[in-house]
Structure 1
Amino acid sequence: MSRNVPQKATGTPGVTGYGRGHRRRTGRGPAATGRRAARLRQRSDAEGTVSTVSTRRTADRGRSFVAGRPPAARDVPAARRFDPLGPVRPLPQPGCDVYLTGTVFLDIVFTGLDSAPVRGTESWARGMGSSPGGIANMATALARLGLRTSLAAAFGDDMYGDYCREVLEHGEHIDLSLSHTVPGWHSPVTVSMAYEGERTMISHGHEAPPKNAATAYDPDAPECPPPAAACVSSLVPDGPQEWITTAARRGSRIFADVGWDETGRWDLSALAELEQCEAFLPNAAEAMRYTRTDCPRAAAHALAEHVPLAVVTMGADGAYAVDGGTGETAQVPGIAVEALDTTGAGDVFVAGFVTGSLAGWPLADRLAFAGLTAALSVQEFGGSLSAPDWPQIAAWWRHGAGRGLADRGRFAFLDRILTACTPSAPPRRAVPTLGFRSPAGG
């Protein structure tokens, strides 16, 4: 997810919302400028289906994260989590539901800024949070939706790396058995400043040194990718990722998005693994450039000639999808919310769509659910730790804003899905420090 692309507006007058402009990429490249940087980050934001009404700047909102939550309340055993795939899981089951690989960043997010920082001055933010970022955004969103998630990534042996590993493995129950710690390598870091619906980001990091044949990035290593129902990736122009072909050959369903083409060619043939994908989820600007069309819907239909399912996100206008096999189309509008921090919203959208796809939901339900999860995420700090879980989704539907929707029928499918979902402790959220120490004896 490179950060050198202009932010794109969502369509709300005066507000940009979460355009999928500045984003991090998957892969092995360094956290630097230019094309190699585009391969380092999994995307952390996307032009999706949230219409951002305003950015909250209250001091109380910022202070709500200072106390954090008691460590004992943070970890909910995976066995007790709501499983959306329970009714459809095959026997025997694959090793995991979703596999993904990429770079984990430590994200430090400042919110509640009145304006962009001015050279030579000091700015005070009314809110702050820190959380794992980069590919961790997608992994956490998937895990919080109940999918057994396997992440292959490199971790630094510094405090940042230890914190990210602890949060992902023990707090979010993500399988990191294919990940590894690199001695002497410091974790990549991004500082994000959010104001008026915009974000300014500064990142620093170096490419993780290569590992032996068991490395998470070695496509020939027999254990990587592992058996998985699905894999999620971000395609890179002229950047082949052989592991995707390996995973598809083993029967994994491939879901992919794409980043900004810094070459300016916008050539679909440069996306080597597109033919392996079941679903391709670009934003409107990317889709229209790749298809040489001037309409997101026309772009979706054109993409459906190259991939079984094309999903184009359209900012405040929602999302539009075309099933190339059946000819089915679906469109859902955006959800108007007040956004605190848009980091990671695009990853949450994709995670919601993948969840609905693996669960076998109708296309329109998948689009609506993906937009809802993204909308809930932008109302919290941070990328990965802003992702909603099922109790939060259930609370929205049963007791919250969902009751006020004029088109409540759009989410009626949640009544059927949420029958087995019970309340639980709130999920971990981003806090101003890397995490608080456990109380004595805790």
Structure 2
Amino acid sequence: MPAKVVVIGSLNMDLVTRAPRLPRGGETLIGQSFATVPGGKGANQAVAAARLGAQVSMVGCVGSDAYGKELRDALLAEQIDCQAVSSVEGSSGVALIVVDDNSQNAIVIVAGANGALTPSLIGCFDAVLQAADVMICQLEVPDATVGHALKRARELGKVVILNPAPASRPLPADWYANIDYLIPNESEASALSGLPVDSRQSAEAAATRLIEMGAGKVIITLGAEGSLFADGKSFAHFPAPAVKAVDTTAAGDTFVGGFAAALAVGRSEAEAIGFGQIAAALSVTRAGAQPSIPSLSDVQAFKTP
């Protein structure tokens, strides 16, 4: 049986429009297309882990609206266990996304039902967490919930991954000791460490600071520049495969899900990072969030151009 990954986090319906560029303040642009696509960092990472070889359970909340059913159905279609996806009164989470011709995006998130994922609700599904090998969290659900999940996963001896996204401020100090792998991007690493991150050298300084704050190991994703791994003793840089980007939405989520899936089945850290990077590279060659996430066979067939 595949190793088990549990994702505790957000489910959003992505409302995606493409435009020549991102609008400036007070400006109205004519968009080129519009689509509704299942997303949310938690759900995206669950789909990535499932497509890339893991047995996955999702813990989260959807609303009582039409989006809620669509979001749940999208996970079920990936054979993801949804017994811990609760339906609550009101609207589901949504993300408003604009993607420009250079494949960069700007995103506004409305939490909706994600705000109803409380520590007590997670406690109702403790058996799901107990059955997992690896747990993944992000920051699109309440902080108290994330802190509870990290602590409980540590108590159970699980491999704990935190993708601190979106992060605009330092994490609570008591979280770090419960994190095996902290996986921020450059801006998130800067927000958490208080240091600028605009080069490989500055990423090393930020990673060192985060380990000093208590994180077990740190992987800073650097976009087209790959990723930096730090374990408190040494650094390793992993170059990203060169591809032609179409849409970077969910690339980070794909990396996290792929890394977790590979780690869960016993691959080394270096192998898991390389695997996640190939998956993320393939995702940016396709439009959308979950539709862009590749399968295990896609990654296995990948050859560097």
Q: TM-score range by the shorter chain?
A: 0.7 to 0.9
Question: In 2 relative to 1, CA 166–222 (structure 1 residues): closer, same or farther, beyond 3 Å?
Answer: closer
Question: In 2 relative to 1, CA 392–211 (structure 1 residues): closer, same or farther, beyond 3 Å?
Answer: closer
Q: Which letter maps to 2:84?
A: L
Question: In 2 relative to 1, CA 388–216 (structure 1 residues): closer, same or farther, beyond 3 Å?
Answer: farther
Map of 2:296 onto structure 1: 390
In the alignment, the residues of structure 1 paired with residue 161 and residue 60 of structure 2 have an alpha-carbon distance, to the nearest angstrom, of: 19
Map of 1:280 onto structure 2: 182
Gaps of 5+ in 1: 1-82, 90-96, 405-442
Q: Which one of the candidate residues 127, 143, 147 is aligned to 2:50? A: 143
Q: Which letter maps to 1:307?
A: A
Q: CA deviation at 1:393?
A: 1.6
Q: Which letter maps to 1:101?
A: I
Map of 1:6 onto structure 2: none
Q: Which letter maps to 2:98?
A: M
Q: Deviations over 1:17-42 (max 9, x none)?
A: xxxxxxxxxxxxxxxxxxxxxxxxxx
Map of 1:34 onto structure 2: none
Q: Which one of the candidate residues 141, 155, 170 is aligned to 2:62? A: 155
In the alignment, the residues of structure 2 paired with residue 300 and residue 210 of structure 1 have an alpha-carbon distance, to the nearest angstrom, of: 32
Larger deviation, residues 132-141 vs 281-290: 281-290
In the alignment, the residues of structure 2 paired with residue 272 and residue 233 of structure 1 have an alpha-carbon distance, to the nearest angstrom, of: 15
In the alignment, the residues of structure 1 paired with residue 192 and residue 185 of structure 2 have an alpha-carbon distance, to the nearest angstrom, of: 11
Map of 2:237 onto structure 1: 331
Check conservation: 1:216, 1:224, Cα contact below 8 A.
no
Check conservation: 1:237, 1:261, Cα contact below 8 A.
no
Q: What is the DSSP-based 3-state SS (H/G/I as helix, E as strand, rest coil) of the residue aligned with 2:90?
A: coil
Gaps of 5+ in 2: 197-201
Question: In 2 relative to 1, CA 289–242 (structure 1 residues): closer, same or farther, beyond 3 Å?
Answer: closer
Q: What is the DSSP-based 3-state SS (H/G/I as helix, E as strand, rest coil) of the residue aligned with 2:83?
A: coil
Check conservation: 2:279, 2:299, Cα contact below 8 A.
yes
Q: CA deviation at 1:358?
A: 2.0
Q: CA deviation at 1:120?
A: 7.7
Q: What is the DSSP-based 3-state SS (H/G/I as helix, E as strand, rest coil) of the residue aligned with 2:112?
A: coil
In the alignment, the residues of structure 1 paired with residue 84 and residue 73 of structure 2 have an alpha-carbon distance, to the nearest angstrom, of: 15
Map of 2:93 onto structure 1: 188
Q: How many matched pairs?
A: 294
Q: CA deviation at 1:209?
A: 7.8
Kindly indicate whether structure 1 or structure 2 has the higher relative contact order, using CA contacts under 8 Å at least 6 residues apart: 1
In the alignment, the residues of structure 1 paired with residue 167 and residue 15 of structure 2 have an alpha-carbon distance, to the nearest angstrom, of: 27
Map of 1:321 onto structure 2: 229
In the alignment, the residues of structure 2 paired with residue 303 and residue 104 of structure 1 have an alpha-carbon distance, to the nearest angstrom, of: 28
Map of 2:137 onto structure 1: 233
Q: CA deviation at 1:330?
A: 2.0
Q: Which letter maps to 1:153?
A: G
Q: Which letter maps to 1:277?
A: I
Question: In 2 relative to 1, CA 360–107 (structure 1 residues): closer, same or farther, beyond 3 Å?
Answer: same
Q: Deviations over 1:211-252 (max 9, x none)?
A: 999x643x3764353421010012699746213212221121
Does the alignment pair 1:344 with 2:250? yes
Does the alignment pair 1:104 with 2:11? yes
Relative to its length, the structure with more helix (as a share) is: 2
- Match runs of 1:289-308 below 5 Å: 290-291=192-193, 293=195, 295-305=202-212, 306-308=214-216
Question: In 2 relative to 1, CA 200–313 (structure 1 residues): closer, same or farther, beyond 3 Å?
Answer: closer
Q: Which one of the candidate residues 363, 374, 379 is aligned to 2:269? A: 363
In the alignment, the residues of structure 2 paired with residue 238 and residue 143 of structure 1 have an alpha-carbon distance, to the nearest angstrom, of: 26
Q: Which letter maps to 1:194?
A: V
Identity of aligned residues (%): 27
Question: In 2 relative to 1, CA 250–194 (structure 1 residues): closer, same or farther, beyond 3 Å?
Answer: same
In the alignment, the residues of structure 1 paired with residue 156 and residue 222 of structure 2 have an alpha-carbon distance, to the nearest angstrom, of: 33
In the alignment, the residues of structure 2 paired with residue 220 and residue 349 of structure 1 have an alpha-carbon distance, to the nearest angstrom, of: 29
Q: Deviations over 1:339-394 (max 9, x none)?
A: 22211111111112212222333333222222111111112122122111012223
In the alignment, the residues of structure 1 paired with residue 188 and residue 118 of structure 2 have an alpha-carbon distance, to the nearest angstrom, of: 36
Question: In 2 relative to 1, CA 159–293 (structure 1 residues): closer, same or farther, beyond 3 Å?
Answer: closer
In the alignment, the residues of structure 2 paired with residue 348 and residue 238 of structure 1 have an alpha-carbon distance, to the nearest angstrom, of: 23
Q: Which one of the candidate residues 354, 374, 378 is aligned to 2:280? A: 374
Map of 1:197 onto structure 2: 103
Check conservation: 2:217, 2:230, Cα contact below 8 A.
yes
Map of 2:37 onto structure 1: 131
In the alignment, the residues of structure 2 paired with residue 322 and residue 121 of structure 1 have an alpha-carbon distance, to the nearest angstrom, of: 43
Check conservation: 1:179, 1:216, Cα contact below 8 A.
no
Does the alignment pair 1:258 with 2:154? no
In the alignment, the residues of structure 1 paired with residue 111 and residue 194 of structure 2 have an alpha-carbon distance, to the nearest angstrom, of: 35
- Match runs of 1:24-43 below 5 Å: none
Q: Which letter maps to 2:134?
A: A
In the alignment, the residues of structure 1 paired with residue 166 and residue 239 of structure 2 have an alpha-carbon distance, to the nearest angstrom, of: 24
Map of 1:246 onto structure 2: 152
Question: In 2 relative to 1, CA 205–332 (structure 1 residues): closer, same or farther, beyond 3 Å?
Answer: closer
In the alignment, the residues of structure 2 paired with residue 238 and residue 300 of structure 1 have an alpha-carbon distance, to the nearest angstrom, of: 22
Structure of larger gyration radius = 1
Question: In 2 relative to 1, CA 220–237 (structure 1 residues): closer, same or farther, beyond 3 Å?
Answer: closer
TM-score (norm 1): 0.59
Q: What is the DSSP-based 3-state SS (H/G/I as helix, E as strand, rest coil) of the residue aligned with 1:153?
A: strand
